[in-house]
Amino acid sequence: MTSANDDGTVPIPEPAGLPLLGNIGAIDSEFPLGSLLSMADKHGEIYRMRFPGRTLVIISTRALVNEVCDEKRFQKAINPTLREVRNGVHDGLFSARLDEENWGIAHRVLMPAFGPLSIRSMFDEMHDIASQLALKWARYGPNHQIMVTDDFTRLTLDTLALCSMGFRFNSFYSPELHPFIEAMGDFLVECGNRGRRAPLPSLFYRTQDQKFESDIEVLRSTAREVLESRKAGEGNERKDLLDAMLRGVDTKTGKKMTDESIMDNLITFLIAGHETTSGLLSFAFYQLMKHPACYEKAQREVDELVGKGPITVDHLSKMPYINGVLRETLRINATIPVISVGALEDTVIGGKYKVAKDEVVLLLLAKSQLDPVVFGSGATEFKPERMMDANFERLTKEFPNCWKPFGNGIRGCIGRPFAWQEALLVMAMLLQNFNFVPEANYKFAYKQTLTIKPKDFHMRAVLRDGLTPTTLEPQAGAGSADGGAAAPTATGAPMTVLYGSNSGTCEALARRVAADAPSHGFRAVTVDCLDSAKDRLPTDQPVVVITASYEGQPPDNAGHFVAWLEAADQADKPLKDVSYAVFGCGHKDWAQTYHRIPLLVDTTLEQLGASRLAEPGLTDASTGAVFTDFETWEDDKLWPALAARYGVKSGAGAKEDGSDRIKVHVSNPRTSTLRQDVQEARVVEAKALNAAAAGAGDEK
How do beta strands 493-500 and 522-529 pair? parallel
CB contact at 8 A, 398 and 327: no
> Buried (b) or exposed (e) across 609-639, using 16+ Cβ within 10 A?
bbeebbebbbbbbbbbbbbebbeebbeebbb
Between CA 598 and CA 600 the distance in angstroms is: 5
Cβ-proximal residues to 79 (8 Å cutoff; 6+ apart), any chain: 56, 195, 340, 360, 362
Q: What are the CA-CA distances from residue 169 to residues 159, 181, 477, 486, 549 (Å)? A: 9, 10, 19, 36, 37
Q: Which of 212, 392, 406, 561 is catalytic?
A: 406
Residues 6+ positions from 193 with CB-CB distance below 8 Å: 29, 208
Q: Identity (one letter) of the amino acid at 481?
A: A
Q: Contact at 8 Å (CB) between 330 and 368?
A: no
Q: What is the pairing mode between strands 579-586 and 542-548?
A: parallel
Q: How far is it between the farthest Cα atoms of the chain? A: 103
Q: Which of 231, 263, 265, 227 is nearest to 113 (CA)?
A: 265
51-54, long-range: CB < 8 A, 24+ apart = 51/21, 51/22, 51/23, 51/24, 51/80, 51/196, 52/20, 52/21, 52/22, 52/24, 52/198, 52/199, 54/80, 54/360
Integer CA distances (angstroms), 303 to 142, 169, 432, in order: 21, 32, 6
Q: Cβ distance 666 to 483 under 8 Å? A: yes
* CB distance 493 to 540 below 8 Å: no
Report strand pairing: 452-454 vs 446-448.
antiparallel
Q: Pairing between strand 493-500 and 146-147?
A: unpaired
CA distance 192 to 183: 14
Closest by CA to 163, choosing from 132, 122, 135, is 122
Closest CA to 586 of 625, 612, 614: 625
Distance CA 436, CA 327 (A): 21
Query: Are the C-beta atoms of residues 63 and 350 closer than 8 Å to each other?
Result: yes
How crowded is residue 592: how many other Cβ atoms within 10 Å of its Cβ? 11
Q: Is residue 402 part of an annotated ligand binding site?
A: no
What is the C-alpha separation between 331 and 122, in angstroms, rounded?
Answer: 27
Count the Cβ atoms, other than its own, within 10 Å of residue 423. 25
Q: Are 216 and 186 in contact (CB under 8 A)?
A: no
The one catalytic residue among 159, 276, 329, 547: 276
Rounded Cα gap, residues 605 and 476, in angstroms: 51
Catalytic entry in 191, 402, 413, 529: 413
Q: What one-character DSSP code corresponds to residue 696?
A: S
Distance separating alpha carbons of residues 16 and 23, to the nearest angstrom: 7
> Do the Cβ atoms of 543 and 579 come closer than 8 Å?
yes
Around 474, how many Cα atoms within 13 Å sit in the side-chain half-sphere? 4
Distance of alpha carbon 659 from alpha carbon 689, whole angstroms: 26
283 catalytic per annotation? no
276 a catalytic residue = yes
Catalytic sites, residue numbers: 276, 406, 413
* Positions at the binding site for heme: 413
- Binding site: which residues? 413
